[in-house]
Protein backbone atom coordinates (compact mmCIF):
# COMPACT_ATOMS: atom_id res chain seq x y z
CA UNK A 1 0.00 0.00 0.00
CA UNK A 2 1.30 3.44 -0.91
CA UNK A 3 0.70 6.85 0.60
CA UNK A 4 -2.38 8.51 -0.91
CA UNK A 5 -1.05 12.10 -0.74
CA UNK A 6 -1.49 13.76 -4.14
CA UNK A 7 -0.01 17.05 -5.32
CA UNK A 8 -0.60 19.11 -8.43
CA UNK A 9 2.71 20.04 -10.05
CA UNK A 10 2.64 23.69 -11.16
CA UNK A 11 3.71 24.43 -14.73
CA UNK A 12 6.75 26.39 -13.50
CA UNK A 13 8.02 23.36 -11.52
CA UNK A 14 7.41 21.05 -14.49
CA UNK A 15 9.45 23.34 -16.76
CA UNK A 16 12.20 23.58 -14.14
CA UNK A 17 12.36 19.77 -13.94
CA UNK A 18 12.53 19.38 -17.72
CA UNK A 19 15.40 21.89 -17.91
CA UNK A 20 17.34 20.25 -15.05
CA UNK A 21 20.92 19.32 -16.13
CA UNK A 22 21.39 15.72 -17.37
CA UNK A 23 17.70 14.83 -17.16
CA UNK A 24 16.31 12.33 -19.66
CA UNK A 25 13.36 13.72 -21.57
CA UNK A 26 9.96 12.38 -20.71
CA UNK A 27 6.44 13.20 -19.69
CA UNK A 28 5.69 14.54 -16.23
CA UNK A 29 2.08 14.15 -15.12
CA UNK A 30 0.24 17.13 -13.68
CA UNK A 31 -0.78 15.17 -10.58
CA UNK A 32 1.72 13.13 -8.59
CA UNK A 33 1.13 10.62 -5.80
CA UNK A 34 3.61 9.99 -3.00
CA UNK A 35 5.41 6.69 -3.64
CA UNK A 36 6.31 5.92 -0.02
CA UNK A 37 4.40 3.72 2.42
CA UNK A 38 1.48 5.52 4.13
CA UNK A 39 2.71 8.04 6.68
CA UNK A 40 0.80 10.62 8.74
CA UNK A 41 3.53 13.28 8.75
CA UNK A 42 6.80 14.29 7.06
CA UNK A 43 7.88 14.70 3.48
CA UNK A 44 6.29 13.03 0.48
CA UNK A 45 8.21 12.08 -2.68
CA UNK A 46 7.33 11.23 -6.28
CA UNK A 47 9.63 10.16 -9.09
CA UNK A 48 9.78 12.63 -11.98
CA UNK A 49 12.54 11.73 -14.46
CA UNK A 50 15.64 9.56 -14.77
CA UNK A 51 19.02 11.28 -14.83
CA UNK A 52 21.85 10.53 -17.27
CA UNK A 53 24.41 11.54 -14.61
CA UNK A 54 25.16 10.56 -11.95
CA UNK A 55 24.34 6.98 -12.90
CA UNK A 56 21.36 5.46 -11.12
CA UNK A 57 19.92 8.80 -10.06
CA UNK A 58 16.40 10.07 -10.43
CA UNK A 59 14.90 13.54 -10.25
CA UNK A 60 12.32 13.50 -7.45
CA UNK A 61 9.76 16.00 -6.27
CA UNK A 62 9.59 16.31 -2.48
CA UNK A 63 6.78 18.21 -0.74
CA UNK A 64 5.14 18.58 2.65
CA UNK A 65 6.84 18.39 6.00
CA UNK A 66 7.33 22.16 6.01
CA UNK A 67 9.46 22.34 2.83
CA UNK A 68 6.94 23.41 0.19
CA UNK A 69 8.02 21.81 -3.15
CA UNK A 70 11.62 20.88 -3.88
CA UNK A 71 13.34 19.10 -6.79
CA UNK A 72 16.00 16.62 -5.68
CA UNK A 73 18.47 14.52 -7.64
CA UNK A 74 18.88 11.34 -5.57
CA UNK A 75 20.19 7.84 -6.25
CA UNK A 76 17.72 4.98 -5.95
CA UNK A 77 17.82 2.54 -3.03
CA UNK A 78 18.46 -0.57 -5.18
CA UNK A 79 17.94 -2.93 -2.21
CA UNK A 80 17.32 -6.37 -3.72
CA UNK A 81 14.17 -8.29 -2.90
CA UNK A 82 14.50 -11.64 -1.09
CA UNK A 83 13.96 -13.42 -4.42
CA UNK A 84 16.48 -11.05 -6.07
CA UNK A 85 14.03 -10.64 -8.95
CA UNK A 86 13.45 -6.95 -8.21
CA UNK A 87 15.21 -4.06 -6.57
CA UNK A 88 13.86 -1.00 -4.82
CA UNK A 89 13.45 2.10 -6.97
CA UNK A 90 12.60 4.52 -4.15
CA UNK A 91 15.15 7.19 -3.16
CA UNK A 92 18.11 6.07 -1.08
CA UNK A 93 17.44 6.23 2.70
CA UNK A 94 13.66 6.35 2.13
CA UNK A 95 11.22 5.85 4.99
CA UNK A 96 8.99 2.77 5.14
CA UNK A 97 9.19 -0.41 3.10
CA UNK A 98 10.89 -1.03 -0.22
CA UNK A 99 9.00 -0.70 -3.50
CA UNK A 100 9.18 -4.45 -4.27
CA UNK A 101 7.28 -5.20 -1.05
CA UNK A 102 4.17 -3.93 -2.84
CA UNK A 103 4.53 -6.44 -5.69
CA UNK A 104 6.13 -9.64 -4.35
Higher per-residue confidence, 1 vs 30:
30
Pairing of strands 31-33, 6-8: antiparallel
Q: Would you list the domain boundaries of the chain?
A: 6-102
17-41 pLDDT tens trace: 998 888 887 888 999 999 988 988 8
Q: What's the pLDDT band for 48 if we cut at 50, 70, 90?
A: very high
User: Rounded CA gap, 73 and 57, in Å?
Assistant: 6
Phi and psi at 101, nearest 5°, equal -65, -20
Q: What is the pLDDT of residue 87?
A: 81
Amino acid sequence: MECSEVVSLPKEERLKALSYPDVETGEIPEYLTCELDPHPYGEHVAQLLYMEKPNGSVLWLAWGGGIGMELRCLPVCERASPTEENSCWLPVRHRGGHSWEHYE
